[in-house]
Amino acid sequence: MLSRRCGSGLLASPSMTSRSRPPGDESAESAEPAGQSVPGTASAELFRSEPGARPRALVLSAGLVSAGAVALTAGALLPVVRAGSPGFTAWPVLVVLALVPAAAVLHAVVTGRAGLASGLVLGLTALAPGRLLLDLQLLADGSLAARPELFLADRLLTLPPAGPGLWALVVGHLLTLAAGAFAAGTARDEAELAGELDGRRRWRLLGPVLGVAGGLGLLLPPLGSGNAYLLAKNAFEGPTVAMAGYLLLAALLPLTVLVAVSSPSAAVGKGGFAGAALAALAVGVPQVLAGLVVDRLSVAPGSVVVTLAGSALLGLAFTRFDGAEAGEAVTGDLAGEARLPGLFWWRLATGALALLAAATAVAGALTPVLKANGATPVPETPARWLLLGAAVVLAVPALFVFVPRLSAFARGVVAATWVGVVLAGAAVLSAALSVTEDKAVDPALFGVDLPVLPDKIGFSAGPGVTWTFISLALAAMAGLAAVITGVVERDDDAADAADDGSRTSGNVLTPVVAAAVLAVAAFGTPVFTAPGYTAPGLWSDFGSASWGLLGALAVVLGLYALVVRSRPVAAASALIGAALVLDLRAAEWALVGSEYEGASAGVGFWLALSAAVVSFVAAGMAVAGSRRSR
């Protein structure tokens, strides 16, 4: 059985606490050492730390992770491309990044930390598919892969053949995926043993913010390059297989952290944080080192953000997740909870992130999105005015987040209006990418001799693209912070005392459903029409800007779905926020359509305006119904 000498660090997470024991079982609580499961049950016997009683599935999972680490180590030592070599001596770092996660899993299994071990494996497994796709880009076309830690061309190559190291990397990722299948059952049983989720684990709530930040960093260029044989691009401009890998990683990193946050078991949650962090570091750290030591390469913000987010997640795994962790009794006064991030700090973070997102959106709208490589006139995208409007729609409620009496209501509005920056920013970036994707290359930007190109015609991304990317990242973080702040508000005694806890009246359901139907049509049909202009859509002409439409629609529909389960004031703020997003969609006719000759209002304009009006009416009904109930 586990002894008391285990601490409360990363590798000392108990699988069960006092709150998961049956009520009235004080004798068991006083007799058991911290972290020991309840004897006499079938599920508890699986997690006893005697060698013969360890769950076979978890031991097999640890073995698969170890075998995968050995394969990844071989991939770091062997050439991934025949007759090719890395850009620098990266194998010592790659070996450490491959072996440390496996060592952590083995240590957790040997010391009887079943929940921690399973969480580590699942965190590693979740990001394995994306890492596998990044490596498979070397198989599809290694000359397009920005992986200087594994391969850096020194001459023009066409479809360089894969080497033995690449197949070792593929085997390593597949073994990690297989390990997750065996660890899932253990994690589920640990969660059942832990009981209900402890709502006081506010340090956990920092995890999703870091996950989103890391995911957004994965979408940015991993390197800065002045090497003609390595064209470092962002996820959307890069080759197809690598783009799929980065998109998958960007989606799975915050999702993995969110699942770890929701686990009732503190051990599984810590393991999930640590596993996802180690996998993220395996992607970001080599790129940072390559930018530092390889000639004509430079460090880019993308890999720095991923590395910092992974490091912060790993550090968060060492914090105390559970108010009753390490066998400490849960008392009524919750001594020590004041040291955890409170409502004030979450509101401060929400307002600050929203204002920063609005400020960078203004910079993206007012600075050039494109720059010419020659004397060619530089076109400007009309979508920049929509981005400027989105910044205003986000900044105004963000200012009121700092006003104590209005903070809760303004926070609810910010939880919706952040997506307006995504809606407008996607349109700005789409216009920039469509112009620069076939740009000519200026030989002076590179350190090798290239054929002279006539007049260096073409365009490249200007500072507006960078500011717009930053605004998208900050807006997403502000939206997540607003949602987390809402969770903390519900748990905060002061916030609960300001409301009677009643639900929104059922009379609001009819206008909410009507607004949802109108919103789907509003985002799916053009707001304006003009000769020669093809509007991005959801069901046809799907392009880069359509992702902004899809994201805005998803947020608006999500808010509508939560309204009927929310308290009246929270429901009203969500409805007003959704209405402002719909107003921004309708304003596209005036802000963008005015730049096109012969533009006229489309069906989407009237649908968006109608959905906004219905949302405002539903917000009024929610507040009025609350007053009548009192």
pLDDT tens for 79-93 read 998 877 888 999 999
Which range among 43-47, 261-265, 426-430, 532-536 shows the weakest confidence by mean pLDDT?
Answer: 43-47
| Structure confidence at residue 456 (pLDDT) | 44
Higher-confidence residue: 368 or 203? Answer: 368
pLDDT beyond 90 at 155? no
Q: How confident is the model over 159-172, as pLDDT tens digits?
A: 678 889 999 999 99
Question: How does residue 377 score in pLDDT terms, banded at 50, 70 and 90?
Answer: low
Q: Above pLDDT 90, what percent of the chain?
A: 32
pLDDT of 494 > 50? The answer is no
pLDDT value of residue 97: 95
Q: What's residue 83's pLDDT?
A: 76
**What is the rounded distance in angstroms from the CA atom of residue 578 to the CA atom of residue 418?**
10
Residue 258's identity, in one-letter code, is L
In the predicted structure, residue 496 carries a pLDDT above the cut 80: no
What residues does each domain of the chain span? 54-194+202-318, 342-438+457-492, 503-629
Average pLDDT, the chain: 78
User: What whole-number distance in Å separates Cα of residue 230 and Cα of residue 157?
Assistant: 11
**Most confident segment among 149-158, 250-259, 438-447:** 250-259
pLDDT value, residue 371: 72
Question: Given this model, what pLDDT does residue 436 score?
Answer: 54
What pLDDT does 483 receive? 83
DSSP classification of residue 162: B
Q: Which of 618, 620, 624 shows the shortest CA–CA distance to 511?
A: 618
Above pLDDT 70, what percent of the chain? 76
Residue 358's pLDDT band, with cuts at 50, 70 and 90, is: very high
Predicted pLDDT at 219: 84
CA angle 293, 297, 299 (to 5 degrees): 80
CB hemisphere CA count around 200 (13 angstroms): 18
Kindly tell me if the per-residue pLDDT of 323 is higher than 80: no
Q: Which of 12-26, 257-271, 529-543, 556-570 has the lowest mean pLDDT?
A: 12-26
Instruction: Print burial letters for 598-615: b (CB count within 10 Å at least 16), e (below 16).
Output: ebebbebbbbbbbbbbbb
